[in-house]
Structure 1
Amino acid sequence: MYHATQSQALHYKRVEMLFAAAMLLFPSVLLGGVAGEDLPLFKAANLGGWLVVEGWMTPSLFDAIPNNDLLDGTQVHIKSVRLNKYICAENGGGSALMANRDIPKTWETFRLWRINATTFNFRVSNKDFVGFSTQGRGVKLVARDDEPGTNGTFNIIRNSDDPLRVRIQASNGLFLQAEAESAVTADYSGNLDQWEDQDPSVFEMHIVKSLQGEYQLTNGYGYDEASKIMMNHWNTYIVEDDFRFMRQNGLNAVRIPVGWWIMYDPMPPQPFVPGSLLALDNAFKWALNNNMKVILDLHAAPGSQNGKHHSGSRDGFIEWGDSKILETVAVIDFLARRYGAHPSLGAIELMNEPLAPGVTLDSLREYYTAGYEAVREYNPTVYVILSNRLGEADSAELLSFAARLKYSVIDVHYYNRYSDYFKGLNGQQNAEYVYKKRSKQLQEITRKKGPLIFVGEWTAALYNDNASMEDYKKFAKAQLDVFGKATFGWAYWSYKCDQNYWSFKWMIENNYMKLG
């Protein structure tokens, strides 16, 4: 059990005094319980796309990357033109590659690890890497390496007249070919000037899915260029005037997504570049200057907790689990140690959007326990936020666990977007859903003596291309009404975004939304 030293006890006393002062500014929370009929503690905006890049929010950041449709994590299907068959890693990996599939599915999907604009490793569905083997007859491609090997580097050469058509050069200098369905080999040295249908070295490469996160951006540009681009982005995307704007328009907090690599700044592991920590320091200063609170949110955990671009994933696989717990706790410890006594710190969120079933409940509880204790070493009263799992998970699965943790909060994300149910619904229909369904969902997880509830992400963007201004206003008002009853408050996604209806700033400036 942890015991405070005399100096730490004095530190705690100072923190408690700062917290008491903060409660004069934010009187609506009842510690260790529910805020009842009071207004929420937090009316916040997420500073998404700032310290953790998301390409859909700032697509122009990716424009100058060469071959920017082939970034890390791009999923491709590769079809032999001659055989009219897709290449497949049999059993998802662990054996030879064949060219024998009519319809591409999971085993026929290859994920790229980018080395430079034209050179890549290929990863298959069981997470093995593709290489070639000279054992036996021929130079056959196999997928059975845990890490990219010396035989696992491939150069993709596109046909300038038809970008779908490619040749793939192996590290032995020869090209892949599929002469028969039973094997793909790296031994073609024929005529490379022609791209005829009967040429066994000609393939079609179809892009199925891509990622545009910070890993993709920094690795796509390379260290030197990425350093310049990211520094300019951090210095201009969010500035102190934005904090003034938020405060003047009814917000009292920001939720700031950060990536795990921030703890290593100014020497983060490649391909990440330094500078985000200084930007975060500035955010705390601006929050203090404008009488606002900061919710720190570990948005990207080591190994990726959900496979999304905003989780720092390289290739979309979920690799967060028991083996990553200590590493992730170290990030929380770093953040709590650096900002734990700062008067603007409002809460620390231990992890954003872990995805079930890839992240197990047992692993998550173990991590949340350790992360909570790490925060408590530096601040005994700051709120600790536990994010609900997305996907195949019960929305109440953390309530009894969190109820045992003092000053704990459950974060839920409510989007009327990611289901065909919402497609085409107008503003009134979405508003009715919020008033009925979302209100009921909030009531079901708001328990007496339970953790506080935080709607950490929502948007007024409709899943309807023909919506009117009145539609957006009705939808926004409904969410402000309902989420305003969340016992810890809410945070709009996001403060700024290239897509207007996702931007709090744009919605306010254009009179789509107004806070009371």
Structure 2
Amino acid sequence: MQLTFVALFLFLVSNAWSSPVPKKNENDIQFVHPQNKKRYFDYDSFGQPLRGLNIGGWLVLEPYITPSLFEAFRTNPDNDNGIPVDEYHYCQYLGKDTAAERLTNHWDTFYTEADFEDISKLGFNMVRLPIGYWAFKTLDNDPYVTGLQEAYLDKAIQWAAKYNLKVWVDLHGAAGSQNGFDNSGLRDSINFLDDTNLALTTEVLNYILQKYSADEYLDTVIGIELINEPLGPSLDMDKLKNDFLLPAYNYIRDNLQSNQVIIIHDAFQPFHYWDNFLTPAQDAWGIVVDHHHYHVFSPGELSAEFDAKINDACNWGPDTLTEAHWTVAGEFSGALTDCTKWLNGVGVGARFDGTYPNSYYIGSCANNEDISTWSDERKMQTRKFIEAQLDAFELRNGWVFWCYKTESTIEWDVRRLIENNLFPSPLTDRLYPNQCNFA
């Protein structure tokens, strides 16, 4: 929960700033807003929580979201041998020309304007748009298709604006991978902070910051996420902060003199970890901390009593109330199992049924995607769990569900959840009000 830049510098900041921004140093990093420029989006004054959806599996492939793209490689029914595990290997196996043909068809069809219209009609007010570094520029030996995705990102922003949806642009994959997850583009590798990878990722991020922080975007793009889910426990956090996050901050505030909101994922650190990093006193609330909450990626969570799961979900809200920054739950789902095929990766089983390494049997994953086989209790628990999360996250600035749609799974697909009365529609509807007993 990786082209050569296409006209990288054709987009230039065209307007000079009328009020200078003082340079920051270690003793004084106060940011003064230019008087004649748009302020960033004010999350507290929006008038409602962010109620958003992730556009997952589109511009960054994830096998469990679009398994048909990966099933095309299957050679036998007994195992996943030969099936690429991520977008890097998908492109490597096909070669760039064939990969470009297949991916272009995917980009043209998996999401269209009609989806954004439906998202708006359902009452959501925001979308998060993941994109990988390789959409803009690649390492010399990268197999990725490149140079095409930016046009789809721009089109999605236009659709969002048309249907009154706000947008986060999310750099979802870094060169070398920031977490080793398939959703970074490259699985089983965490080399993001190596000098070459860091330099390229920074170059791409600066381009994204420059383009999508321009005044023409600020009414729709209300934040840019510097990097999705850096795996803090496996990274040098000081290097992440000092060599990546702070330079990005300085670039947008000093070089671009932009008031765009910066989104920082919590890097799987505990609540309040980021309280003293770019505090509101230093940046007047121009920072959002993005917390991702899932309850299916350890045997202990999966085997917990349901009341404990509700209690955990409820606690995710109050724990943010005293954090220094605006906070949004930028990813969460309706999942109470990890049974969805390839959720844990191609060739990897599920913890729920004990097929994941070093796990144990909790229950069966058979017919997990056939809603007709779900018991009334499972349906009730799914709805209750989702409602508890929504209530908790709306104590602060809101939430972004992962994700709007998939090819086949239910627990990660808001369309299917709504169709089966497992997700509130309208979004403020509650079958199980006051579960969390918030005052």
TM-score interval for Structure 1 and Structure 2 normalised by the shorter chain: 0.7 to 0.9
Counterpart CA distance in 2 for 1:268 and 1:29 is 45
> In structure 2, which of residues 50, 53, 72 is the aligned counterpart of residue 64 of structure 1?
72
Q: Does the 8 Å contact 1:44/1:251 carry over to 2?
A: yes
* CA deviation string 1:20-55 (max 9, x = no partner): 8xx6xxx7525xxxx9xx632x21111111111001
* CA deviation string 1:405-439 (max 9, x = no partner): 4401111111111121222457554223312x323
Pick closer, same or farther for the CA change 1:268–1:9 going to 2, 3 Å: farther
Q: Does the 8 Å contact 2:136/2:146 carry over to 1?
A: no
Q: Do residues 500 (structure 1) and 379 (structure 2) align? A: no
Amino acid in the other structure paired with 1:325: L
Match of 1:473 in 2: 383
Q: Does the 8 Å contact 1:428/1:471 carry over to 2?
A: no
Amino acid in the other structure paired with 2:413: S
Match of 2:276 in 1: 400
TM superposition shift of 1:356? 2.7
Q: What SS does structure 2 have at the residue aligned with 1:45?
A: strand
Pick closer, same or farther for the CA change 1:59–1:396 going to 2, 3 Å: same
Which is bigger in relative contact order (C-alpha 8 A, separation at least 6)? 2
Amino acid in the other structure paired with 2:403: S
Pick closer, same or farther for the CA change 1:426–1:279 going to 2, 3 Å: farther
Counterpart CA distance in 1 for 2:150 and 2:103 is 12
Counterpart CA distance in 2 for 1:257 and 1:234 is 13
Amino acid in the other structure paired with 1:29: D
TM superposition shift of 1:485? 1.4
* CA deviation string 1:171-208 (max 9, x = no partner): xxxxxxxxxxxxxxxxxxxxxxxxxxxxxxxxxxx97x
- Where in structure 2 are there 5+ consecutive unaligned residues? 1-12, 20-32, 338-362, 366-373, 429-439
Counterpart CA distance in 1 for 2:261 and 2:54 is 17
Q: Does the 8 Å contact 1:66/1:220 carry over to 2?
A: no
How many residue pairs get matched? 355
> In structure 1, which of residues 414, 421, 425 is the aligned counterpart of residue 293 of structure 2?
414
Counterpart CA distance in 1 for 2:161 and 2:119 is 13
Match of 2:179 in 1: 306
Match of 1:275 in 2: 148
Pick closer, same or farther for the CA change 1:345–1:218 going to 2, 3 Å: same
Provide the aligned C-alpha RMSD in A: 3.2
Match of 2:44 in 1: 29
Counterpart CA distance in 2 for 1:387 and 1:289 is 28
Identical aligned residues as a percent: 29
Q: Does the 8 Å contact 1:410/1:454 carry over to 2?
A: yes
Match of 1:454 in 2: 328
Q: What SS does structure 1 have at the residue aligned with 2:404?
A: coil
Q: What SS does structure 2 have at the residue aligned with 1:511?
A: coil
Please list, as runs of the form range in 1=range in 2, the aligned pairs for 1:301-450 lying within 5 A after superposition: 301-313=174-186, 316-321=188-193, 323=195, 324-341=197-214, 342=217, 343-366=219-242, 367-376=244-253, 377-378=255-256, 380-390=258-268, 393-403=269-279, 404-406=282-284, 407-425=286-304, 428-435=307-314, 437-443=315-321, 446-447=322-323, 450=324
Runs of 4+ in 1 over 3 A off after TM superposition: 10-17, 66-69, 424-429, 464-467
Amino acid in the other structure paired with 2:44: V
Counterpart CA distance in 2 for 1:439 and 1:28 is 16
